[in-house]
């Protein structure tokens, strides 16, 4: 994520949040790990924000299963935040 942020020359406050309980997951609306948000919005397009949990999260991109959100999703979220 840091490399994507650096491409936009923005001063971003990148935070890693350890979610350790189901209650905390619900409070933070945590969809599983890893979850990446920009300005509080999930970077996954068309995400359904329900089922908050501590599970491992995967992402689908063009029929490929990924273990983290693709850089292009993070870049798109940054562009929206900069508008």
pLDDT by residue (tens digit) across 52-80?
Answer: 999 999 999 999 999 999 999 999 999 99
pLDDT band at 7 (very low <50, low <70, confident <90, very high): confident
Q: Which is higher by pLDDT, 10 or 82?
A: 82
How many Å apart are CA 4 and CA 74, to the nearest integer? 7
Q: How far is residue 9 from each of residues 12, 40, 53, 56, 80, measured CA to CA in Å?
A: 9, 19, 33, 31, 15
* Predicted structure pTM score: 0.84
Q: For residues 43 and 69, is the Cβ–Cβ distance under 8 A?
A: yes
pLDDT band at 49 (very low <50, low <70, confident <90, very high): confident
Read off the tokens for 7.
């491409």
């Amino acid at each position: 994520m840091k490399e994507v942020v650096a491409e936009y020359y923005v001063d971003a406050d990148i935070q890693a949040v350890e979610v350790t309980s189901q209650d905390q997951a619900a409070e933070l609306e945590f969809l599983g790990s890893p979850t990446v948000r920009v300005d509080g919005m999930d970077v996954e397009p068309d995400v359904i924000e329900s089922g908050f949990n501590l599970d491992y999260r995967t992402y689908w991109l063009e029929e490929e299963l990924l273990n983290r959100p693709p850089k292009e999703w993070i870049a798109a979220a940054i562009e929206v935040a900069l508008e």
